[in-house]
Amino acid sequence: MDELVLLRDGAIAFLVLNRPERRNAITIEMWQALPRVIRDVEGDDSVRVLIVRGAGDEAFASGADISEFERVRASTSSARAYSVTVREAERALERFPRPTIAMIHGACVGGGLSVALACDLRWASRTARLGITAARLGIVYSLEATRRLADVVGPSHAGDLLYSGRLVDAEDAFHMGLVNRVCAPDRLERETGDYARAIAQQAPLSQEGAKQMLRHLRDGGAATDSAGYVDRAYESADYREGVRAFLEKRPPTFRGQ
């Protein structure tokens, strides 16, 4: 669909929220399409990193499109169905097996911040303004979305953002751990791209395993659940290549095998 655009630059894929005229507010159709788009990228092993961004200069995403709430959240049952759709979209992004980065400029609010929190890392321009305005709308965020926020910033900062509905600037977001890096506006794309290309050169199986380990820690999974990722790495051609490259004092060439 035109409102979700997938672009490629070598090993980097860009998922663009493409409604700049509405500050990339996310429609129900965009939420519905997101899992399919993620599956398409997931099936391409040549993609090593996924960057999520908003189109234009004003916003990453200003939130869910409130103008359609009277249609898609008109009753308790329709609101529940809407929430299921949003949850499945966020889960698809969260469970993408390779590293994901939200590249944030301008407004990153409500559902937009939920999308960013479903990514592994968040890089922000100094123009960024981030927050969750549920308290201004009289709604309650889902348990999964609240958990992602609290996992990233801790319960105290999460409570501050949820109770107040306030927006924080990039520096405040950095200090509370909401974003990993703050860049000058004219350097955000370059610095995010440079970082993505650097991690795209590392061993994919190591990164996928690390992502699963972090997920096990977060979800309280048993240690035996994660042993397969360790064994898979030791048995891989990439492990042998990494050791040889180290001994030969040359950069390794990893193939995800």
Per DSSP, the residues of 106-132 read: SEEETHHHHHHHTSSEEEEETT-EEE-
Same domain as 217, residue 155 = no
| Range with lowest mean pLDDT among 53-57, 97-101, 232-236 | 232-236
User: Given this model, what pLDDT does residue 223 score?
Assistant: 52
Please check the confidence at residue 193 and state whether its pLDDT lies above 60: yes
CA–CA separation, 103 and 119 (whole Å): 10
Looking at the DSSP bridge assignments, the partners of residue 14 are 7, 51
Residue 234 binned pLDDT confidence (cut-offs 50, 70, 90): confident
Domain that holds residue 222: 203-248
- Report the pLDDT value the prediction gives residue 114, as an integer from 0 to 100: 97
Please check whether residue 255 lies inside any domain of the structure: no
pLDDT at 248: 79
Please report, as a single letter, which amino acid is at residue 48: R
Chain segment 203-231, per-residue pLDDT in tens? 988 998 989 888 888 876 655 566 677 87
Residue 253 maps to a domain? no
Domains in the chain: how many in total? 2
Do 83 and 122 sit in the same domain of this protein? yes
- Say yes or no: 146 and 232 in one domain: no
So what's the pLDDT on residue 217? 83
Q: Over the range 138-175, which residues count as b (16 or more CB within 10 Å of their CB) and which as e? A: eeebeebbbebbbebbeeebbeebbeeeebbebeebbe
14 and 131 together in one domain: yes
140 and 226 housed in the same domain: no
